Amino acid sequence: MHYIAMKEFILNTKITVYHIDECSDIEKKLIEAAKSATKKAYAPYSQFKVGAAVLLENGEIVIGTNQENAAYPSGLCAERTAIFSANANFPEHKVEAIAIAAFYKGKYSTDVTPCGGCRQVLLETETRFKSPIKILISRDEEIYKLDNATDLLPLHFGEEMLQ
């Protein structure tokens, strides 16, 4: 019998954690836009309201909210509604950053990160514009910052696999 030696590798993700007061003015504005967007979410089933705010290179901020549906697979996440709206309304402008916030049980939740589908869409948007997207995840008074979507989805499916 012939055995192949097992291999192992480690993936690292850099997340910078800082207080909201340490954010730049534009980051604060983006985070506040995401928090404000949660109030517009349609989440009658889960009551977990998510808002996302996308900053475009032209300074425009585009928001998105989660949109639930009784047929659960028919709903859509806040991150994707924001990215798709930005791409539909400003197709020539790259996305520089996205802020994400959630409101649940009367307070801003500390537990919200993009789902796998949203991570894939963020990565596709980075690839489309050949530019990283800064990701800001609002966690009460703390902010988690990632430098790009690849950090959220290191083993991703990309256009290179379709060659």
Residues carrying an active site annotation: 79
54: its two tokens: 């996308």
Cα–chain-centroid distance for residue 100?
A: 6
State the pairing for strand pair 16-19/95-104.
unpaired
Measured CA distances, 11 to 16, 137, 154, 155 (Å): 16, 21, 7, 9
**22: number of Cβ within 10 Å:** 13
- Residue 151 φ/ψ, nearest 5 degrees: -65, -25
What is the maximum alpha-carbon separation in the chain? 63
Give the helix/strand (H/E) hosting 99: strand 95-104
